[in-house]
Amino acid sequence: MTDAPAPTPNAERLAEEILTRMLSALEILTIEVGARRGLYEALAAHGPMTPRELSSSAGIHARYAREWLEQQAVAGILTVSGPATSAPDDDYGRRFSLPAEHRRVLLDRDDPCYMAAGPQFIASIATTLPEVLEAFGTGGGVPYERYGEGTREGIAGLNRPMFQPEMLRSWVAALPDVHRRLTDGSGARVLDLGCGLGWSTIALAHAFPRARLTGIDLDAASVEQARRNAAGAGLGDRIAFVNTDAAGAGLDGAVDLVTVFEALHDMADPIGALTSVRRLLTPSGAVLVADEQVSEDFTAPGPDLDRLNYAFSVLHCLPATRAEGAKVEAGTVLRPATVRAYADEAGYGSTEVLPVAHDLWRFYRLSP
C-alpha cells in the first residue's frame, strides 16, 4: 500500500471551497422546505413559536418542526429566545421568530429584496438532473416544461420585484424617442417576447396606459398563467398573450417597441426571432433587449455573475434550448459581441449598449 499524497495548498483550497458550497446548497434547500411547507408564513402570522406550536399550526410533525427551527436559527435566518440547554421534549421553552426584515426576503413577493424564488428555482432544477445527465451523453435537450412549475414560478419570482411600472418607465426612457411615442401617442404597440408569466408585460401596461400590449411565449403553461395574472391585475382586455415561437410568430401590424427580458439567450433561433420582429417595427421603432451582464470575453476563473450564469446554463438554459431544436444556442452567457452578431444577421442597422444601471442585466437597443 502506498501512502496517500500529502495535501497541497491548491487541493486544500478547493476542498474547503467545496465544503463551503455544500453548506450553501444545503441551506438553500432548507429554505425551500420552509417556503413549501408554509413554515415562514406560520411564523410571520403567529409570532415567536415553539416547535410544537409550529407543528400544529403548519401541520407538520413536531420532531421535524424542531429540527428545522433549530437549523434555521443556527443558519441566522430565524432568531431564538429561551433556555440555552435543550431538553428532549419538543416544547422545551425555546421560541423561534422570523425577523421582519427577513420576512421581506422570504415572503413579500413584490419587495425588491424578495429572494425565496431562488431556492424554488434551484430545487426544481435539481429534479431534472437525471435528464440533464442523459442529455450530456446524447446531445439532446430537456424541454422547458419538464423543469415544471418551480422553474416557471422561480424565474418569474426572481424577476418580478424588478418589473415595477416606474422601473419599466426608466428602462424605456433610455430610448427617448420610443418613450415619447409610448407616452404621448395613443395606440402605440408593444410586443414582449419570452414574457414568461407576464409580469413584465403587466408592468409595461401600467407604465404606459395608452399602449396596446402583446406577450409572446413558447411555453403553454406560462402563457396560461400570464393570462390569469393579467386578469388578476385588471388588465385582461389590454394585454393579449400568444403561445408561439418568437421566431415564427406570424404576427402582423406595426410595432413601436419590442422587449426581450432575459429570454433572448433561451431562444433556439434568436436570429429568426429578431428578424421576425424587425419586419414589424415602425421606422422609428426599436427592440429593447435585457440579458445577462456577463464578461465581454471568456474569463477563467471568472466573476460571480459569469459563474452563476454558466451554472444555470449547464443545468437549465442550454438543455432547454437544445430541446427546442436549437439553431444557435448561446447558453445563458450571452456576451455583447454575440448580441451584436445576432442583430447584424437579423438585419438591424445599429446595436447599442444602453446606459441603464442594473446589477444583473445589460440593456441593448436594436434599431432597424
Ligand X SMILES: C[S@@+](CC[C@H](N)C(=O)[O-])C[C@H]1O[C@@H](n2cnc3c(N)ncnc32)[C@H](O)[C@@H]1O
Nearest-CB residue for ligand X:
196
The reply on whether position 292 binds ligand X by CB under 6 A is: no
The reply on whether position 247 binds ligand X by CB under 6 A is: yes
Evaluated on CA atoms 69, 123, 133, 306, the torsion sign reads negative
Based on CB atoms, which residue is closest to ligand X, 33 or 326? 326
The reply on whether position 263 binds ligand X by CB under 6 A is: yes
Taking CB under 6 A as the binding criterion, the range among 63-71, 81-89, 167-175, 211-219 that sits at the site for ligand X is 211-219
Q: What are phi and psi of 190, to 5 degrees?
A: -125, 135
Taking CB under 6 A as the binding criterion, the range among 81-89, 228-236, 258-266, 340-348 that sits at the site for ligand X is 258-266
Min dist. Cβ of residue 168 to ligand X (A): 12
The reply on whether position 217 binds ligand X by CB under 6 A is: yes
The reply on whether position 200 binds ligand X by CB under 6 A is: yes
User: DSSP code of 265?
Assistant: G
Binding-site size, ligand X (CB under 6 A): 24
Min dist. Cβ of residue 332 to ligand X (A): 9
The reply on whether position 266 binds ligand X by CB under 6 A is: yes
Min dist. Cβ of residue 326 to ligand X (A): 10
Residues 143-172 contacting ligand X, CB under 6 A: 144, 155-156, 159
Min dist. Cβ of residue 76 to ligand X (A): 29
Based on CB atoms, which residue is closest to ligand X, 80 or 115? 115
Evaluated on CA atoms 199, 204, 205, 207, the torsion sign reads positive
Min dist. Cβ of residue 362 to ligand X (A): 14
Taking CB under 6 A as the binding criterion, the range among 128-136, 171-179, 244-252, 292-300 that sits at the site for ligand X is 244-252
Min dist. Cβ of residue 96 to ligand X (A): 33
The reply on whether position 261 binds ligand X by CB under 6 A is: yes
CB 239 within 8 A of CB 202: yes
Which DSSP string do the residues of 88-148 spell out, in sequence order? SSS-SS-EEE--HHHHHHHH-TTSTT--THHHHHHHHHHHTHHHHHHHHHH-----GGGGH
Question: Which of residues 150, 194, 285, 331 is near ligand X by CB under 6 A?
Answer: 194
Q: Tell the burial category of 228 from Cβ atoms under 10 Å away from its Cβ (0-12, 13-18, 19+).
A: middle
Taking CB under 6 A as the binding criterion, the range among 101-109, 131-139, 226-234, 266-274 that sits at the site for ligand X is 266-274
Q: What are phi and psi of 287, to 5 degrees?
A: -105, 130
Name the residue among 244, 243, 251, 193 with its Cα closest to residue 223.
243
Question: Which of residues 32, 153, 245, 256 is near ligand X by CB under 6 A?
Answer: 245
Residues 97-116, mask of contacts with ligand X (x by CB under 6 A): --------------------
The H or E element that residue 193 is part of is strand 189-193
Q: Tell the burial category of 174 from Cβ atoms under 10 Å away from its Cβ (0-12, 13-18, 19+).
A: middle
Question: Which of residues 32, 53, 153, 262 is near ligand X by CB under 6 A?
Answer: 262
Tell me the residue type at 156. Answer: A
Q: How far apart are CA 352 and CA 368, in angstroms?
A: 12
Based on CB atoms, which residue is closest to ligand X, 182 or 246? 246
Min dist. Cβ of residue 39 to ligand X (A): 26
The reply on whether position 211 binds ligand X by CB under 6 A is: no
CB 195 within 8 A of CB 262: no
Q: How far apart are CA 119 and CA 28, in angstroms?
A: 5
Q: ω before 9 within 30° of 0 (cis)?
A: no
Q: Tell the burial category of 238 from Cβ atoms under 10 Å away from its Cβ (0-12, 13-18, 19+).
A: middle
Residues that bind ligand X (CB under 6 A): 144, 155-156, 159, 193-196, 200, 216-219, 222, 245-247, 261-263, 266-268, 324
